[in-house]
Amino acid sequence: MSLFWKLFGVQVLSAATLVAGVLLLMRHQTATSFAAYVEARERQRLEEVAERIAEQYVQTGDLAVAARALREFRRRGALPPFTPAGERWREPRPHRLRAPLTLLDARQQYLAGAPLPDGEGLRVPIVDGEVTLGYVARPPLPDWIAPDEAGFWKRQRQALLRAAAIGLPLAALFAALIAAMVQRPLRRLSAATAALARREFGLRLNADRRDEFGRLAADFNTLAAALERFDRNQRQWLADIAHELRTPLAVLRGELEALLDGVRPIQPAQLRSMQQEVQRLGSLIDDLHLLSVVESGGLRLQRERCDINALVQAAAARFDAALREAGFALELRLAEAELPVHVDAQRIEQVLGNLINNALRHAHAPGPLRITTAGAGERIHISVCDAGPGVPVEALPRLFERLYRVEAARSRTEGGAGTGLGLAICRSIVEAHGGRIAAQANVDGGLCIQIDLPGAERDP
């Protein structure tokens, strides 16, 4: 069964249940109100008859004679005084407009009028002063309904049936409209989802609606844009990897062919060149593997409590000689107090090493390389800033993309170009620790990398 018919059936069933409940409630309410009205009217009539009987009793001294002097009892005097056992009394004249009356004595024994059927009925006392002479009674309301009352009931039933006959088709019509309104956007969403499965990521839905379907369409468009961006990045990623692998492989192939063909003699220089290309391939493969592990959430962090200042000092010590040889002046501006963090010390040192190594490759000496630490509330801040050259503003958001380089044609002999994965690895490791990393222009004209990590609780 399609969604349309499911929604249609549920709506029609709900509407039919609601209409039936309303009609039954109206019927019950009408019956109750009408019964109360009839009872009040009959009680008033019996009270008038009781007053007249009391007036006649003053003249005759006999309650039965006083009752038969009234029109209500005189025309019913021929009625049989008893009803056969087990049978309900029936009015022999079906066109009478009022229920027959019965006269009872003070002990509520039958005296005159129509015998009462089983049931209490409606009874009004006949009072002379403070003395109860007897009772005037009539059959219970369900046992005797006057023709005008029966006509009222009939008209009420017809009105309720007409309301049901009109309400149910209208409910079915509105159910069909509601089902169509729900099904139409779902069909569009289903078709769009099938298009995504066919890798048609450029498809977008109309998200002008302000209801849940509009939000769903907007979420679909966001998903489609993300998939489109992911697909584009994956294609670029594969192309970049192929390019990065092709270059050292081409160098190795050329060197090996030259050696095999005897064009070049086997010398240590050629062997060192091939070794460097093999190392470059190994570094690229190691970085790719590490990046894939981190981004897939498979990196296991060996967290421990440590001081971020100590980690910065350890990373700076490893690169101190290389920095001095390259002509950089290393400046450490560390916070005076301890800055405790709960991190994987080896991975954070790897991040710091990548940032320092990145400055060694791309910054120009002489110039300072400044590393600063600070604490603000529950966060720890680290910045690694060089003196230039800077990075164009439009390139700052892309620095942490895989294999992205500001200068795509940078010579591999100038500063020793890396794999292009260092900053991407830094971002993944920092985010795995619950931190953030960002790039911004340095006030001195260079590049500044900002790291924000959650701090650990200080010892009391």
Q: How many domains does the chain have?
A: 3
Residue % of the chain over a pLDDT of 70:
85
42 and 73 co-located in one domain: yes
Q: Which of 73-77, 200-204, 212-216, 309-313 has the lowest mean pLDDT?
A: 73-77
306 and 276 co-located in one domain: no
Task: Examine residue 194 and state whether it is found in any structural domain, yes or no.
Answer: no
Task: Examine residue 38 and state whether it is found in any structural domain, yes or no.
Answer: yes
354 and 413 co-located in one domain: yes
pLDDT in tens, 85-96: 444 444 444 444
Does the pLDDT at position 371 exceed 90?
A: yes
289 and 307 co-located in one domain: no
Q: Which of 286-300, 336-350, 376-390, 428-442 has the lowest mean pLDDT?
A: 286-300
Domain with residue 318: its CATH number is 3.30.565.10
pLDDT in tens, 55-69: 888 888 888 888 877
Domain with residue 228: its CATH number is 1.10.287.130
Instruction: Note the pLDDT of residue 451.
Output: 93
Does the pLDDT at position 243 exceed 90?
A: no
Domain stops at, among 294, 323, 341: 294
pLDDT in tens, 412-440: 334 344 567 888 889 989 998 999 999 98
Instruction: Note the pLDDT of residue 89.
Output: 45
221 and 350 co-located in one domain: no
321 and 278 co-located in one domain: no
Q: Is 194 exposed, middle or buried (0-12, 13-18, 19+ CB in 10 A)?
A: exposed
Nearest Cα residue to 302 out of 269, 346, 338, 271: 346
251 and 317 co-located in one domain: no
Boundaries of domain holding 270? 212-294
Q: Which of 199-208, 294-303, 342-351, 445-454 has the lowest mean pLDDT?
A: 294-303
80 and 223 co-located in one domain: no
Task: Examine residue 182 and state whether it is found in any structural domain, yes or no.
Answer: no
Region 170-191: mean pLDDT is 81
Of the ranges 85-94, 259-268, 369-378, which is most confident? 369-378
How does DSSP assign 275-344, residue by residue? HHHHHHHHHHHHHHHHHHHHHTT-PPP--EEEEHHHHHHHHHHHHHHHHHHHTEEEEEE--SS--EEEE-
245 and 309 co-located in one domain: no
Domain stops at, among 245, 276, 294: 294
With contact defined as beta carbons under 8 Å apart, do 109 and 63 qualify? no
306 and 444 co-located in one domain: yes
How high is the mean pLDDT of the chain?
79
Region 15-21: mean pLDDT is 77
Does the pLDDT at position 74 exceed 70?
A: no
Instruction: Note the pLDDT of residue 118.
Output: 64
Task: Examine residue 431 and state whether it is found in any structural domain, yes or no.
Answer: yes
Region 433-453: mean pLDDT is 88
Nearest Cα residue to 369 out of 388, 392, 396: 388
140 and 24 co-located in one domain: yes
Does the pLDDT at position 409 exceed 70?
A: no
Backbone angles phi, psi at 380, to 5 degrees: -115, 130
366 preceded by cis ω (within 30°)? Answer: yes
For the beta carbon of residue 413, count every other beta carbon within 10 angstroms: 7
Domain stops at, among 294, 321, 348: 294
127 and 33 co-located in one domain: yes
Task: Examine residue 207 and state whether it is found in any structural domain, yes or no.
Answer: no
Task: Examine residue 122 and state whether it is found in any structural domain, yes or no.
Answer: yes
Task: Examine residue 175 and state whether it is found in any structural domain, yes or no.
Answer: no
Reported pTM? 0.52
Instruction: Note the pLDDT of residue 416.
Output: 42
pLDDT in tens, 129-145: 888 888 888 877 655 55
Instruction: Note the pLDDT of residue 66.
Output: 82
Q: Which of 102-111, 298-307, 360-369, 406-415 has the lowest mean pLDDT?
A: 406-415
Confidence band of 42 (pLDDT split at 50, 70, 90): confident
Task: Examine residue 165 and state whether it is found in any structural domain, yes or no.
Answer: no
140 preceded by cis ω (within 30°)? Answer: no
Nearest Cα residue to 331 out of 347, 345, 349, 312: 312
Residue % of the chain over a pLDDT of 90:
12
For the beta carbon of residue 426, count every other beta carbon within 10 angstroms: 25
Residue predicted with more confidence, 28 or 316: 316
